[in-house]
Amino acid sequence: MANPSLLILAGDGIGPEVMDEVKRIIGWFGDKRGVSFDVSEDLVGGAAYDKHGVPLHDDTMAKAQEVDAVLLGAVGGPKYDDLDFSVKPERGLLRLRKEMDLFANLRPAQCFDALADFSSLKKELVAGLDIMIVRELTSGVYFGEPRGIHMEDNMRVGINTQRYTEAEIERGARAAFELAMKRDKRLCSMEKANVMESGILWRDVVTEVHADYPEVELSHMYADNGAMQLVRAPKQFDVIYTDNLFGDILSDCAAMLTGSLGMLPSASLGVPMENGRPKAMYEPVHGSAPDITGQGKANPIACILSFAMALRYSFDMGGEADRLEAAIEAVLADGARTGDLMGPEGGTPLSTTEMGDVILAAL
């Protein structure tokens, strides 16, 4: 049987640096665990724009559709800030999400015991935190039409459209309920049904899907209250399901609660392909971090944990994912720290490569 295939799109900024460490991890799995991948690489974001004048070349898009999973680094940077909206680095990422139809964006917000002090929240409120946010990723105001800026009575008017069909809400809800079944069986759905009709439909459809998952305890919360509750007492949540825009904000808020953005992976999953595997893209939650690019300072863990999510969700290798995650927990417990994880007590941080070294050693 052919090896599973991976397309690496390292992207911009620290993307290539952190992805280098992932490649070493992939190599280790091939050498030591007999888990080999066919790996190809290509450009996305500003890197693709520099070469092709577009943030994602059609050939790259076609490749992404064919592989078993895409690993993405990060996109964007100040160099591209003034580009036209249609060719900004982000459009490459959004095109991948939309054309691969990656509707379920899984964003775990987990606080590692060794790092609980890094949170801006009091330690006892975040130690042991383990939330899974499921964000709908292919619809809503990100893609709704009509959109744009036009003139009306000699005045500019900016328009975007929030649009959700019941099928879109439903498939994401199923993904969220399935995850809840494997976890603590609690799902909280967030919208603004008190203000938006699309939120009313959201609430109704999630409630209907609930009938198929009676074991899961379902609650509903307005998104503004959701933001408050995340800050007040984040451990009250197990799985959260919300739309593309609320999910963007609430998952970033939840990520920051853990205090270590350099640690957080994500998975974006679509419908099953012929081989039964879902279309999938994995990426760290952090951005391209232009301020530290090229200095060997970046923390590769979020990107490595994204690969662990690929092992779990694309390749049904939960055991191997556990092994990789355990190695990371072990080096953290041992005191291994990149610059972003240095406390006030100081010390010498590990470089990106050195962090890769200790993780490989722990494996």
Ligand X SMILES: CC(C)[C@H](C(=O)O)[C@@H](O)C(=O)O
- Residues contributing to the annotated binding site for substrate: 97, 107, 135, 224
351 contacts: CB under 8 Å, gap ≥ 6: 296, 297, 338
37 binds its own copies (CB under 8 A): no
Task: Kindly identify the residues of this chain, within the stretch 217-276, that bind its own copies according to CB under 8 A.
Answer: 223-225, 227-228, 230-233, 245-246, 248-250, 252-253, 255-257, 261
3-state secondary structure 24-89: HHHHHHHHHHCCCCEEEEECCCHHHHHHHCCCCCHHHHHHHHHCCEEEEEECCCHHHCCCCHHHCH
345 binds, among ligand X, its own copies, none (CB under 5 to 8 A by kind): none
Query: Which tokens in the block code for residue 125?
Result: 């409120």
194 binds its own copies (CB under 8 A): yes
245 binds, among ligand X, its own copies, none (CB under 5 to 8 A by kind): its own copies
Q: Which helix (H) or strand (E) holds 146?
A: strand 144-152
DSSP, collapsed to helix, strand or coil, labels residue 102 as coil
* Minimum CB distance to its own copies, residue 249 (Å): 5
167 binds ligand X (CB under 6 A): no
**What type of residue sits at position 86?**
S
Among 12, 248, 325, 340, binds ligand X (CB under 6 A): 248
> Cα–Cα distances in Å, from 157 out to 29, 143, 154, 162, 244?
53, 18, 10, 16, 23
Task: Kindly identify the residues of this chain, within the stretch 142-161, that bind its own copies according to CB under 8 A.
Answer: 142, 144, 147-149, 152, 155-161
Q: Would you give the binding string for its own copies spanning residues 200-219, x where CB under 8 A is met?
A: xxx-xx--------------
228 binds ligand X (CB under 6 A): no
**Active-site residues: which are they?**
142, 192, 224, 248, 252
Do residues 164 and 243 touch, judged by C-beta distance below 8 A? yes
Q: Identify the CA nearest to 42 among candidates 21, 15, 82.
A: 15
- With CB under 6 A as the rule, give the number of residues binding ligand X: 7
DSSP per position, 182-218: HTTSEEEEEE-TTT-HHHHHHHHHHHHHHTT-TTSEE
Q: Would you give the binding string for ligand X spanning residues 198-227, x where CB under 6 A is met?
A: --------------------------x---
86 binds ligand X (CB under 6 A): no
Which residues sit in the known binding site? 77-90, 97, 107, 135, 224, 248, 252, 287-299
| Beta carbons within 10 angstroms of residue 125's beta carbon | 17
Work out whether strand 278-284 and strand 130-136 pair parallel, antiparallel, or are unpaired: unpaired
Residues forming the site for ligand X (CB under 6 A): 90, 93-94, 194-195, 224, 248
Residues forming the site for its own copies (CB under 8 A): 85, 88, 90, 94, 120-122, 125, 141-142, 144, 147-149, 152, 155-167, 192, 194-202, 204-205, 223-225, 227-228, 230-233, 245-246, 248-250, 252-253, 255-257, 261
